[in-house]
Structure 1
Amino acid sequence: MNWGHSIIIVFVLFAIGILTLVTRSMQTRIDMVTPDYYAEELKYQATIDACNNTGQLSAPVRVTQPGDSIEITFPGELKGAPLQGQVHFYRPADSRRDFVLPLLLNASGQLLVSRAQFDRGPYRIKLQWQHDGKDYFQETQFYVQ
């Protein structure tokens, strides 16, 4: 085989490689953090204030994984208090695995979520609640095993 054929083979292999990369990149899912990011940005000062309120609690909200459940434990001063809010489980790798639960605590001030609802991997747990007319917000990075 002469050098002219070798150059043509290299160009053809290069073109096939580029077409493969373009095809794969077009099939990759790209999820935004939130579909209405502009509206969320306008409300960000309220989130900062809610984070400051959370910082004034005696302890942060703890997230643990005992056995086959995810346990979200609120500090002692909120135990038995009427809280209204929600918990958003955000999966950065796949927005189809995101879900939101209402904040319904048991008598011990805990929210238990079955591990069967999660895929193994990283989650951001965003807690938003109201108590005594104040808004609270806490975001926790958590790895589900």
Structure 2
Amino acid sequence: MKFNWGTGIVIAFVGFISFIMYFVISMNTDKALDHDLVTEDYYKQELEFQNDIDKENNSKSLTKNLSWKKTNEGIIITFPESLEINSITGNVFLYRPSNKQFDFETDISLSNHNLLIPDKRLLDGRWNIKVDWQYNGKSYLYKKEIIY
């Protein structure tokens, strides 16, 4: 059999298509490469986007906004000292972009102006923190991308 240009082109196309098919199949079936980068209810979250903007604007109007710091015990979220802690309600949602199984939500329950997220619940790496809280009927929102 004689090898000519036509045969070479056909072999190259078949090889390229085989490589692409192998790549697509292996990427879709390998669980180690499965990353959930969006939340389950992103359509619902999109509808609430204007409310989030209003809540963030309320947070910016505070004389002092929330702050956080990393300690050996975990993450400490500090609420403004000028606010009465009994009137603060809401929840804290920590979102792990690389794996949704580590996402969790906790209610705000304060005995002083600090809220501790324990170290045992957090892995090293990137987290998105979202504190949705209310004070005297007014809603506030604090969002931050953090590295723990």
For normalisation by structure 2, the TM-score amounts to 0.81
Number of the residue aligned with 2:95: 90
Percent of residue pairs identical: 31
3-state DSSP of counterpart to 1:129:
strand
Q: Kindly indicate whether residue 114 of structure 2 is the aligned counterpart of residue 115 of structure 1.
A: no
Superposed, 1:1-145 pairs within 5 Å as 14=16, 17-27=19-29, 28-107=33-112, 109-144=113-148
Return the letter of the residue paired with 1:141: E
Q: Where does the alignment leave 5 or more consecutive residues of structure 2 unmatched?
A: none
Query: How far did 1:12 drift?
Result: 7.1
3-state DSSP of counterpart to 1:77:
coil
Return the letter of the residue paired with 1:36: D
3-state DSSP of counterpart to 1:127:
strand
8 Å CA contact 2:130, 2:142 repeated in 1: yes
What CA distance in whole angstroms lies between the structure 2 residues aligned with 1:25 and 1:110?
A: 44
3-state DSSP of counterpart to 2:127:
strand
Q: Where does the alignment leave 5 or more consecutive residues of structure 1 unmatched?
A: none
8 Å CA contact 2:86, 2:110 repeated in 1: no
3-state DSSP of counterpart to 2:85:
coil
Return the letter of the residue paired with 2:44: A
Structure 1 outlier segments of 4+, above 3 Å:
7-17
Count of aligned residue pairs for this structure pair: 141
Query: What CA deviation, in whole Å up to 9, does each residue of 1:8-33 have, x standing for no partner?
Result: 98777645533431122213424252
For normalisation by structure 1, the TM-score amounts to 0.83
Please identify, of 40-49 and 119-128, the stretch whose mean Cα deviation from structure 2 is larger: 40-49
3-state DSSP of counterpart to 1:54:
helix
Q: 1:106 to 1:24 in 2, by over 3 A?
A: farther
What RMSD, in angstroms, separates the aligned Cα atoms of the two structures? 2.3
8 Å CA contact 2:77, 2:114 repeated in 1: yes
